[in-house]
């Protein structure tokens, strides 16, 4: 597993302080992040692949300073967004998966082969040449996953990957996360998704208020909501 | 269209026309996208002699991403129209354009972020 270290991280948007002097070391295989709307969860996970650079403090992935080695870090850290519509950048399904393999020194045949494998794995082969926008919401999120995993990241960060999905599709995505060999960091409001995770962190107003076994952290979160 | 305009006033007629345009654009895109890879390869071949001045790969990418954005914008337009209808409001073209542009900009922002996350930061 990779080691992700937040050291004294603070961040503000304008004069709103979103993260307050946060220090964390993440080494577990499956980590969940919970917290109320606006508590800073998305900002926290965006720091991991450098989509946000902190005002103060540092974030490292396997010792690589994210702020200095963003490109290398982004190869190791795949990111799944809430809305797959914004994540799919190519017009057709197979092109979108192949997009993740650009600039890696692979031959066209290798790219085609890996793309085919990834589509197969996520049950999207029949849609390979279809326009991505014609997929259902669940299929779009599957495509987003396929496009991230084809790049063989060591860590997969997902910001509310099941929020827009119906119960069945969200279970399917949850099962896929469970089966992944990668290290997984998931932000979610669907607490049942985290029951068998190794560690759950609860954020409130930009600070960690609970951190530990799922039952403990989720109880703390429920108490906050009550 | 003129009959529509006489019967229901110009605003719904304009909306109808807009929706037709979107539908046509979507249909065009559908037939287009199946061969988008071919089009892109053609583009790149075409631009290769000018490789010193233009990066064929980048131009191809730009075209592909633009094509990808057409259905997204079409969907935004549809949703804005639906929201207006649901609230029973009927305003000027400007009142339609503003939310469409604002939401398109947000979507563009999010797609830009996804591009960065997926390794397009050169
Ligand atoms: N790009 C930005 N510009 C300005 N303010 C921002 C930006 N991104 C987030 N914020 C603000 O920072 C705060 C924390 O946002 P963040 O998205 O991290 O919360 P969150 O815990 O992910 O919430 P949610 O559960 O609603 O997704 C919010 O008050 C939000 O308005
Ligand atoms: Mg969020």
Lowest pLDDT segment from A9-18, A179-188, B14-23, B110-119:
B14-23
For ligand 1, mutation pick of A18, A34, A201, A202 (most atoms within 8 Å of CB) = A18
Please say whether the structural domain A4-225 has been given the CATH code 3.40.50.2300.
no
Choosing from A20, A37, A42, A188 the residue with most ligand 1 atoms within 8 A of its CB, the one to mutate for a pocket test is A42
Res. A59 pLDDT band, cuts 50 70 90 = very high
Tell whether A99 lies on the interface with B, counting CB pairs under 8 A.
yes
A14 dihedral zone (left: phi>0; alpha: psi -120 to 50; beta): left
Contact A92 B36 (CB under 8 A): yes
pLDDT at B60 over 90: no
Does B5 have pLDDT greater than 80?
no
Return the domain boundaries, chain A.
4-225
Question: Model's pTM, two decimal places?
Answer: 0.84
* B34 CB within 8 Å of a chain A CB: yes
Contact B33 A85 (CB under 8 A): no
A18 lines ligand 1 (CB under 6 A): yes
Q: Which atom of ligand 1 is nearest to the CA of A40?
A: 18
pLDDT in tens, A17-58: 999 999 999 999 999 999 999 999 999 999 999 999 999 999
Task: Assess contact for B78 and B19: CB atoms under 8 A.
Answer: yes
Residue that has been written with the tokens 């992944």 in this structure = A180
pLDDT averaged over every residue in chain A: 94
pLDDT grade, residue B32 (50/70/90)? Answer: low
| Contact present, A163 and A189 (Cβ < 8 Å) | yes
- For residues A50 and B70, the model is more confident at A50
Distance from CA of B10 to the nearest CA of A (A): 31
- Max Cα distance, chain A (Å): 56
Q: Which residues of B90-105 are buried (b: 16+ CB within 10 A; e: fewer)?
A: eeeeeebeebeeebbe
- In this predicted structure, the answer to whether residue A157 has a pLDDT above a threshold of 70 is yes
Give the best-scoring range by mean pLDDT among A138-142, B22-26, B46-50, B56-60. A138-142
What pLDDT sits at residue B70?
Answer: 80
Sequence-distant (6+) residues with CB within 8 A of A140 are A84, A85, A88, A132
CB-based contact A86 B107, cutoff 8 Å? yes
Q: Is A40 in the pocket of ligand 1 (CB under 6 A)?
A: yes
Burial of A75 (0-12, 13-18, 19+ CB in 10 A): middle
Looking at chain A, which residue has its C-alpha nearest residue B34? A129
Task: State the smallest CA–CA distance between residue B7 and chain A in angstroms.
Answer: 35
Q: What's the rounded Cα separation, in Å, for the pair A58 and A116? A: 38
């Amino acid at each position: 597993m990779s080691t992700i270290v937040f050291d004294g991280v603070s961040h503000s948007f304008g004069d709103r302080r979103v993260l307050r002097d946060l220090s964390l070391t993440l080494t577990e295989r499956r980590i969940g992040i919970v917290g109320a709307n606006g508590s800073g969860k998305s900002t926290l996970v965006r720091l991991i692949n450098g989509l946000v650079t902190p005002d103060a403090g540092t974030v490292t992935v396997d010792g690589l300073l994210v702020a200095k080695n963003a490109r290398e870090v982004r190869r190791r850290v795949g990111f799944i967004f809430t809305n797959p519509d914004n994540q799919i950048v190519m017009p057709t399904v197979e092109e979108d998966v192949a997009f993740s393999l650009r600039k890696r020194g692979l031959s066209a045949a290798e790219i085609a082969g890996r793309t085919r494998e990834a589509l197969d794995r996520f049950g999207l082969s029949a849609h390979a040449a279809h326009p991505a926008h014609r997929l259902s919401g669940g299929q779009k999120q599957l495509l987003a996953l396929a496009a991230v995993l084809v790049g063989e990241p060591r860590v997969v960060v997902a910001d509310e990957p099941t929020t827009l999905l119906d119960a069945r599709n969200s279970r399917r995505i949850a099962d896929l996360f469970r089966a992944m060999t990668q290290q997984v960091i998931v932000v979610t409001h669907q607490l049942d998704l985290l029951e068998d995770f190794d560690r759950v962190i609860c954020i409130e107003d930009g600070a960690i208020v609970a951190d530990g076994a799922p039952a403990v952290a989720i109880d703390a979160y429920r108490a906050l909501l009550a | 269209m003129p009959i529509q305009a006489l019967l229901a006033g110009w605003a719904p007629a304009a909306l109808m026309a807009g929706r037709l345009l979107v539908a046509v654009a979507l249909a065009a895109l559908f037939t287009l996208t199946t061969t988008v890879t071919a089009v892109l390869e053609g583009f790149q071949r075409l631009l290769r002699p000018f490789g010193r001045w233009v990066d064929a790969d980048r131009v191809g990418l730009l075209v592909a991403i633009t094509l990808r954005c057409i259905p997204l914008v079409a969907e935004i337009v549809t949703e804005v129209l639906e929201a207006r209808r649901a609230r029973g409001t009927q305003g000027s073209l400007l009142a339609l354009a503003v939310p469409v542009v604002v939401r398109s900009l947000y979507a563009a922002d999010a797609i830009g972020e996804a591009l960065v996350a997926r390794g397009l930061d050169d």
